[in-house]
Chain A
Amino acid sequence: MAISNTERSRRSAQGGGFSLQNEAVRAIFWQVLVLGIVALGIWYLVSNTIANLEARRIATGFGFLGREAGLPIGEAMIAYSPTDSYQRALIVGLLNTLKVAVVGIVLATILGTVIGIARLSKNWLLAKIASAYVEVIRNTPLLLQLFLWYTLLQGLPGPRQAMKLGEGVFLSNRGIKVPWPVWDDLHVWVVGALAAGIVGAWVYTRNANATQARTGKRPPVLLPNLGMMVALPIVVWLALGAPLVWDVPALRGFNFVGGATLTPEFAALTVGLVVYTAAFIAEIVRAGILAVPKGQWEAAQAVGLHNNRILNLVILPQALRVIIPPMTSQYLNVTKNSSLAVAIGYPDIVSVANTTLNQTGQAIEGIAIIMAAYLTVSLSISLFMNWYNKRIALVER
């Protein structure tokens, strides 16, 4: 063995093989060297951190996750009480982050698209208002805007003087209270019918597309799909005897009891993120539409298409390819900017994790949790958007 090894290296040395003169060997050599140095560096930093933490008698490890949190959290999408563990508190925080991110992304996209298109409008006033919006919003700090929204919402009357917006709907500085249906086990069937309807509509639409491609005629799509997604669940619900009880908010003691609440913290954060991000999205949409050559409009007009159809069939599909990549980074921004929540008291993941690391003293673990959470959410958004981008690119003929 030893001999053959020496033999081999001797031989390769002869052929200029095991020498830094050989390009392939050199490449590997440097890579191994760099990797080694990086690994050594990481090992040094990690062991150093552990030694320092020990010397300063700062607790380490993730054991605290199972301990009772004792933290008050203002709003939670899953059942939470202070007797629950830190782990559950962190999940509550993460869900709150996801909630504001999802709602924020959807609304910002809608508002941003409307404003972006408005900015291109032939109506002078509309275009000017849209561009003023973009300039003002883009150029003031988001945190300031959040404080502004939050302060505005706090200016509403107290619960005892709440404005009544409708039967059981109240607006006060405690948020908006609305009646909410009480869950009944029979509702499982309605939800099931809805899911079946969505799947059915999806299959039906695919078939319709195929038929259109084959025959050139598009079968009616809207009505059958609505039927499956809306009528079916309603029929199922009626067949079950229409089980529905509303939990209606009522003023009792300090506050409204019952119903569902849209808190001022969530509202201020969502409105703030939506208004802010929409300004950026508007510019992206505008740029995307402008990126489609004018000739495309003219050609489509020459074929005799209506303006709406041109936008839908010719312009948007091409514009989307320009729009999607920068849009992805706006979606990531919404998610990351939601961490300003702590300033206005919305219990997002950063707020809960910060409090956790403060109460347990385990700062490094706390930061690791925040980073892992954002990394997961951000990568998921990126992956989804990349997938969507590819899908759109394929539409090209």
Chain B
Amino acid sequence: MSVLRTLALGTALTVAGFGAAHAQAPASPIFDAVKARGTLVCGVNTGLAGFAQPDSQGVWRGLDVDACRAVAIAMFNDATKVRYVPLTAQQRFTAVQSGEVDMMPRNTTWTFQRDVQLGLDFVGTNFYDGQGFMVKKSLGVNSAKELNGATICVQPGTTTELNLTDYFRANNMRFTAVVIERQEEVNAAFFAGRCDSLTTDVSGLASTRASQGAQANDYVILPEVISKEPLAITVRQGDSKWSDLVRWTFFAMLEAEELGLTAANIDSMANSENPAIRRFLGATGDLGQMLGVDNRWAYNIIKTVGNFGESFERNITPLGLPRGVNNLWTKGGLMYSPPLR
């Protein structure tokens, strides 16, 4: 499965003309390809409630999905012009490198090594997270520090598995790992009792726990958060027109929240005298044109998808996760858009 993807990457790198890498290439290969194709190909989770998961009608929903929809609106003014490609943690980077997906908001932690060595660009953090542990309540464990000797379920190809070994080493504890690639399988192993604890980003734990329905209360997430996991949107390196678009689309959703613009009220703001709002709506200035898209791109996004806070409330709040550090900087959080001007 992921071997196939890797082979595809190898082939892409092998046969792509020198041109792609050199001067005569189009200045923005991804941007142009997306435009010509008429759909955006978005790499997402294989199914993580709140972030990316198809609903009963097969429509993808979630915070990450909204990031894709927003970019589709910027490009085509149509939130449905997206094809979602579910990726496991193992498959995701090759999918971006080989151009299989145009962008990837997929619970992916922004790390030095990934940024510098993988040929990726991280354009913005859409969820500040950290790694935690979940256990069955009946186990009687109250702290991660009590997990010495435990068997722990974890997904490979993640920062999770690395933090896990670091944490146990730092605390002089031992553990046995059960490493399973697919999320459904690793969760199934945990719920079947193969492992004493499941570890991943706290948001992932909350989502997994919430999907247990009535049994959710049998499980607890331990208080320790053992790492920083800024989950960020990635694109392939080397097309700054494309990374600019994806980055500022995300920032536009933050900026809208800060300006108090929502899907419901944005039409009534048309006559606002606030210069920042006028720029945002495309009434003055040419921000959209600078990005190579419709000047009303930001308006269109908010009108359909809503601002970041609305997306968060729609997708993450039902998991029982507080806004916390993911609030705007003006409300004590870390979410901060540079000025749109």
Q: Which residues of A contact B (CB under 8 A)?
A: 45, 48-49, 51-59, 70-74, 82-83, 147, 151, 154-155, 158, 173-174, 252-255, 257, 264-265, 342-345, 347, 350-351, 354-355, 357-361, 363-364, 366-367, 370
Q: Which residue of A lies closest to B6 (CB)?
A: A363
18 contacts between A and B (CB under 8 A): A55-B20, A56-B21, A57-B116, A70-B165, A71-B161, A72-B152, A72-B175, A74-B178, A154-B194, A173-B192, A173-B194, A174-B151, A354-B3, A354-B90, A358-B90, A361-B118, A363-B6, A370-B3
- Residue pair A83, B179 in contact (C-beta under 8 Å): no
Q: Give min CB distance, A281 to chain B, whole Å.
A: 27
Q: Which residue of A lies closest to B162 (CB)?
A: A70
Q: Which residue of A lies closest to B118 (CB)?
A: A361
- Residue pair B150, A70 in contact (C-beta under 8 Å): no
In the complex with contacts A355-B90, A367-B6, A347-B14 CB distance below 8 A: no
In the complex with contacts A70-B162, A255-B176, A361-B114, A367-B7 CB distance below 8 A: yes
Q: Does B166 contact A (CB under 8 A)?
A: yes
Q: Which residues of B contact A (CB under 8 A)?
A: 2-3, 6-7, 9-10, 13-18, 20-22, 89-90, 93-94, 97, 113-114, 116-119, 139, 147-152, 154, 156-157, 161-162, 164-166, 169, 175-182, 185-186, 188-189, 192-194, 196, 236-238
* Chain A residues in 8 Å Cβ range of B149: 252-255, 257
- Residue pair A58, B175 in contact (C-beta under 8 Å): no
In the complex with contacts A345-B189, A358-B89, A82-B165 CB distance below 8 A: yes
Q: Which residue of B lies closest to A175 (CB)?
A: B194
- Residue pair A83, B169 in contact (C-beta under 8 Å): yes
In the complex with contacts A83-B169, A343-B185, A358-B156, A72-B192 CB distance below 8 A: no
Task: A72 to B14: give the CA distance in the assembly, Å.
Answer: 33
Pick from B10, B116, B151, B185: contact of A254, CB under 8 Å:
B151
Q: How many A-B residue pairs have CB under 8 A?
A: 168
* Chain B residues in 8 Å Cβ range of A265: 178
* Chain B residues in 8 Å Cβ range of A254: 139, 147, 149-151, 196
Q: Give min CB distance, B138 to chain A, whole Å.
A: 10
- Residue pair A364, B90 in contact (C-beta under 8 Å): no
Task: A363 to B162: give the CA distance in the assembly, Å.
Answer: 19
* Chain A residues in 8 Å Cβ range of B21: 51-52, 54-56
Pick from A48, A257, A343, A363: contact of B181, CB under 8 Å:
A343
Pick from B9, B116, B148: contact of A253, CB under 8 Å:
B148
- Residue pair B93, A358 in contact (C-beta under 8 Å): yes
- Residue pair B119, A361 in contact (C-beta under 8 Å): yes
- Residue pair A45, B119 in contact (C-beta under 8 Å): no
* Chain B residues in 8 Å Cβ range of A257: 149
- Residue pair B93, A71 in contact (C-beta under 8 Å): no
* Chain A residues in 8 Å Cβ range of B178: 74, 265, 345
Q: Which residue of B lies closest to A147 (CB)?
A: B185
Task: A328 to B176: give the CA distance in the assembly, Å.
Answer: 36
Pick from A55, A57, A73, A357: contact of B177, CB under 8 Å:
A73
- Residue pair A355, B156 in contact (C-beta under 8 Å): yes
- Residue pair B20, A361 in contact (C-beta under 8 Å): no
Task: A54 to B238: give the CA distance in the assembly, Å.
Answer: 11
Q: Give min CB distance, A272 to chain B, whole Å.
A: 14
Task: A57 to B116: give the CA distance in the assembly, Å.
Answer: 8
In the complex with contacts A154-B194, A255-B149, A345-B179, A367-B10 CB distance below 8 A: yes
* Chain B residues in 8 Å Cβ range of A53: 13, 119
Task: A155 to B191: give the CA distance in the assembly, Å.
Answer: 11
* Chain B residues in 8 Å Cβ range of A359: 113, 157, 162
* Chain B residues in 8 Å Cβ range of A347: 179
In the complex with contacts A58-B97, A59-B117, A357-B6 CB distance below 8 A: yes
